[in-house]
Structure 1
């Protein structure tokens, strides 16, 4: 079952409960995946090539409601194309999120003296499965994937499609969106939402597993931070991920009346 259901009207979508985030609205990785997947779905017919980069901005919380999208071609032709896609609640006028996807036609290039790094095959299933219990009593985006952790890499395998026919880059964005949380300097003291997400791939992932070798830096005196890391599949590195982080104090529990 896809995480987003296509409605009768073109570019209209209904999110399933699996698109939800831990707080209000949808998870950023689900949103970025939907917007990028729509662009990838058009790439073949438009001769854009392969999606190699997606930069998403989360402008405000996206509600669990029917949604609409709008694709706009920024640059098309030659070897590289740039395409924007934006997201709105179907009944509203202010956008919630936008992505800019860079696509390129593949072309083999001979580079004298260059030797591609050897690949060492990994088996994520040899690590124990991890259950992340942030949300109770309902489904959320983490329930759409299997998670394992070992040797400094967090591994994820999506168990549901974002949309029917989603491409390779959009399948990476959901796991990549957890990067800043994997490497938190401390746990359970502040929330650290990411207002943006950028992923770049230098080759297509092989197989179902996506790994993140993550790092994060916080500056509590400013309330900012950053997350980033190396993206992998079972055969080695495939790209990079980065995002900004905004530190937000957890709400204080209400005091009982004396």
Structure 2
């Protein structure tokens, strides 16, 4: 089952329960993956090459409803193409998210004296399964993947495609969106949503696993932070991820009224 299913008309999508986030609306990583996947699906037809980076902005929560998207080519031709893709709920005019994807045709270049560093192959199955940011009582985006923590990284394996025949970059964006949560300085005391997500790939991932070697920096006095990290597959680094973080106190539960007291 795909996380988003086409509705029959071009650029129309129905999210499944697996696209949900922990709070209101859909998970940002799921939304970014959908928008990038549509661009990647067109890359072969338009001869854009491979998607090498994505810059996503989450403008407001995306509701669990029918969605429409619209692609806009910023530039194409030569070696590099840039394509925007924006998402709206069907029937609404205010967008919820937009992604800018950069694509490039590969071209072999000989660089005298350069050799790629060798790395040991890692088997994420050796590490224990972990549940990150658990949501109780309903299905959500984390249920679309398996997570394991071990070594110096968190490892993710998607069990569902974002859309049918999703490309390499869109497969990375979902795991990459957890970076700020993996490296957060403290746990379960404050919310830290990310209003954006930036991913650059030096090569597509090999195999099913995507790893994140994460770190974070917070400024509680300003309510701001950043998350960043190295992206990995079992054979070594594949790119980098970064995002801004907005620190938000958890909502406090309303105190229970005493018997006989009047509500304000």
Given the two structures, how large is their TM-score scaled by the length of structure 1? Answer: 0.99
Aligned equivalent of 1:6: 6
Q: 1:146 to 1:49 in 2, by over 3 A?
A: same
CA separation in 2, counterparts of 1:180 and 1:170?
18
Aligned equivalent of 2:163: 163
Q: What aligned pairs does 1:25-36 form with structure 2 within 5 A after superposition? A: 25-36=25-36
CA separation in 1, counterparts of 2:45 and 2:181?
37
CA separation in 2, counterparts of 1:152 and 1:43?
34
Q: What aligned pairs does 1:139-178 form with structure 2 within 5 A after superposition? A: 139-178=139-178
**Structure 1 residue 119: deviation in Å?**
2.5
Aligned equivalent of 1:200: 200
Residue 40 of structure 2 corresponds to residue 40 of structure 1: yes
Q: What aligned pairs does 1:209-248 form with structure 2 within 5 A after superposition? A: 209-248=209-248
Q: Summarize deviations over 1:69-97 as a string: whole Å, max 9, x none.
A: 00000000000000000000011011000
SS of equivalent to 1:51:
strand
Aligned equivalent of 1:99: 99
Q: Summarize deviations over 1:149-201 as a string: whole Å, max 9, x none.
A: 00120000000000011000000000000000001101111100000000000
CA separation in 1, counterparts of 2:196 and 2:232?
21
Q: What aligned pairs does 1:54-73 form with structure 2 within 5 A after superposition? A: 54-73=54-73
CA separation in 1, counterparts of 2:232 and 2:155?
9
SS of equivalent to 1:130:
coil
CA separation in 2, counterparts of 1:24 and 1:160?
22
Aligned equivalent of 1:136: 136
Which structure 1 residue ranges, 5 or more long, are not aligned? Answer: none
CA separation in 2, counterparts of 1:119 and 1:131?
28
CA separation in 1, counterparts of 2:132 and 2:61?
22
SS of equivalent to 1:149:
strand
Look at both structures and tell me which one has the larger radius of gyration over its CA atoms. 2
CA separation in 1, counterparts of 2:132 and 2:221?
29
Moved >4 Å (runs of 4+):
none
SS of equivalent to 2:37:
helix
**Structure 1 residue 133: deviation in Å?**
5.5
**Structure 1 residue 255: deviation in Å?**
1.0
Residue 127 of structure 2 corresponds to residue 127 of structure 1: yes
SS of equivalent to 1:228:
strand
